[in-house]
Amino acid sequence: MSAKVILASDSTSDLNEELIARYGVHLIPLTVNLGDNQYTDGVDIDPDMIYRYYEEKGVLPKTAAPSIAAFESFFAEQTAQGNEVVLFTISSEMSATYNNARIAAEDYPNVFAVDTRNLSTGGGLLVVAAGEMIAEGKGGKEIADACREMTDRVDASFVIDNLEFLHKGGRCSAVAAFGANLLQLKPCITVQDGKMGVNKKYRGSFASTLKKYVADRLGDGSRVELDRIFVTHAGCEESIIQQCVEQVKEIAPFREVHITRAGCTISSHCGRNTLGVLFVRKPNE
């Protein structure tokens, strides 16, 4: 009897409950420090709590990676019966999560930690791909290696309506934030080489900006894997979300279009009106 492969991810993958249940994903939460209180991401705190606290106090949270001990405890429990574990983490360029998991995994030859080089459902795309491979009967190392090879093909980006949270979090200057808001500029933040950077700046209302953004990212859909796409948002109006979903469906016949809500990490960095389409590109021919 071959070993069972346990699928795990840190809490930044932003998968919805349907996908977590479908693939049996074990979530290892980050810690969220808000004021004098410490919370567990997705357990006793959610993005709306962060927004309310910010509106009242003007303070944003700080997130912390799961400890090496937390990973060791999880690995010990899951491998006790001879099972393998494939664990996915937020980009090592953005958090200590991967490094902590890697160190904890050193004593477990049947544990494979994967640095997604991404965040949010950019990493979630790899988790789902791994879930599909587990269903096909593939082993832990094969799955981890295949997902590492996919990282460069994940297209992850977001459009941010207002730079207030980025400014408050120290990620852009007051002058840049003021100028962008004054001119109604909406930056598109993309993930490349494991890091976030500004790809393009749009001008206009959030709704009109998103139409241009979706068209730019997907093109005619010919270079995109059609298995699935995520429309991930940080608390946008339902009409805005549905507008993007319908546009995605018009561009290409995706087999699955998933709407997911960004968790505490993305939300505390970017703010409520943030939305992205995240998918996998086809290999270069």
Which tens digit of pLDDT belongs to each residue from 127-175?
A: 999 999 999 999 999 999 999 999 999 999 999 987 766 655 444 433 3
Q: What is the mean pLDDT of residues 191-204?
A: 88
Q: What is the pLDDT of residue 173?
A: 38
Q: What is the pLDDT of residue 174?
A: 36
Lowest mean pLDDT across 58-67, 118-127, 169-178: 169-178
pTM beyond 0.85: yes
Looking at 3.40.30.10, 1.20.1300.10, 3.30.210.10, 3.40.50.10170, the CATH number of the domain 5-30+65-151 comes to 3.40.50.10170
CA torsion through residues 119, 122, 126, 127, sign: positive
pLDDT category at 92 given cuts 50, 70, 90 is very high
Alpha-carbon distance 227 to 255, whole Å? 5
Pairing of strands 229-233, 195-203: unpaired
Residues ≥6 apart with Cβ < 8 Å to 167: 173, 174, 176, 177
Q: What is the pLDDT of residue 6?
A: 98
Q: What percent of the chain has pLDDT over 90?
A: 77
68: enclosing H helix or E strand: helix 68-79
Q: What is the pLDDT of residue 168?
A: 59
Task: Say if residue 227 is exposed, middle or buried (CB neighbours under 10 Å; 0-12, 13-18, 19+).
Answer: middle
Average pLDDT across the chain, whole number: 91
Q: What is the mean pLDDT of residues 166-190?
A: 55
Q: What is the mean pLDDT of residues 11-31?
A: 97
Domain residue extents for the chain: 5-30+65-151, 156-280
CATH class of 156-280: alpha beta
